[in-house]
Structure 1
């Protein structure tokens, strides 16, 4: 049976005859289905977020595994966690079929190796506290299936993301997230809305997990890494918004806190020095709200 993602789109049989404006509109409009597919997967994503947060609180890692576009999207999500949420580099690992070389060009046969997926999981030392995200638009990529089987055998939480109903990857994982995007405007090109849905789903999943882990205060990104001029300004703005302090006071608190926004906020709102504020935050599990109640 032909997979949904491989079928010809019924609405665009003459795509190559469209004028440019119509062509662009058709390609852009079809992307809206990606967001709809992610919203439909909301219950599964919520289940995955709660299960993942519980393990990550105990020191587990996020491990992304996939091939081709799916693998590259996993890598993208993994590297964005540190500057956005101060998530440690060593606790966000991306496994890509074919290794680093596959970032830039296809490595023939790598995605077809079930053994390769299992070997990469073993080499990464995946364990029971880890959360392994398996990504495959088809849901049947051997590399992802091998990785899922090996990760689950090691006791890790496995979350599978696939774009076809009934995909083997969804059944192979503890939590299956179906992103049912249907046929592509360009038949079989899952870098289009299938890839967009995966990107949205990963954004949603990892951001929700970080909220659960107290990386956000209200809706402010308070664990940002101020690693460049833009982010230094952002850290100051966030500190002012969260604490109500003026620019001078916020700047002084950030300087005393080592540019740690969360710490500066607690210092300002609780009237504490850096050491006492840090102790409160640690006792509160990193939650600003809980630290301010102490």
Structure 2
């Protein structure tokens, strides 16, 4: 069942989303050559604690981090630890927080230091652009599949990188969010006509939109730690995510500092007013 939120509950989710935004901002600034993924985890943990929130990642089914730190060919669910970042790396950082029982969840991809080829800049740009296209499709009267279509079509329209292709990761996708981090419905980042059009989007509908894209295969495998997800062909991947609420006035990006106003305006969409002012 899809959990529909009241405006007051969306305001609480906005509080959680802003904590996540602050944690990811601090992690982005800390993702420099020589930093370890464990140090980034400690940065996020401090931000969350300083805001009186709690982590929804730490302890989740036994996960040992406050963030997922996924480097290079790791798509998602990388466990933070002693791995030292070096110039030229790509890291996707996923983070979540809880405020008064309400969840926020978002992810960014950071190019560490210098020395990245244009294909890595494009990989991150294309993945982020597809996320915003999906967010723009969160409107009254649409169905969940319309969000999937917007994500996939944005990726498919892009010029292919010189030495590869864009693989839309198949085994992982977005999800409902609210009183739990992962809720119905599951959001594919591509259209699967066999699943139907999905639920109708109505005010109070909240979802985490998170495309994951590789420079090669859409197929992945999980390492022996039962968390770390890598691409089967070792190509590098990017991951971007925002939590979004549909209100009577339009979409509100709960985990963006400006509620998504600037990016949505570029797409001709007016973001909903921020319930926190």
Q: TM-score range by the shorter chain?
A: under 0.3
TM, length-normalised to structure 1 = 0.26
Instruction: Determine which structure has more spread, i.e. the larger CA radius of gyration.
Output: 1
Larger % of helix: which? 1
Task: Give the number of the structure whose residues are more often strand, by fraction.
Answer: 2
Q: Which has the higher contact order (CA 8 A, sep 6+)?
A: 2
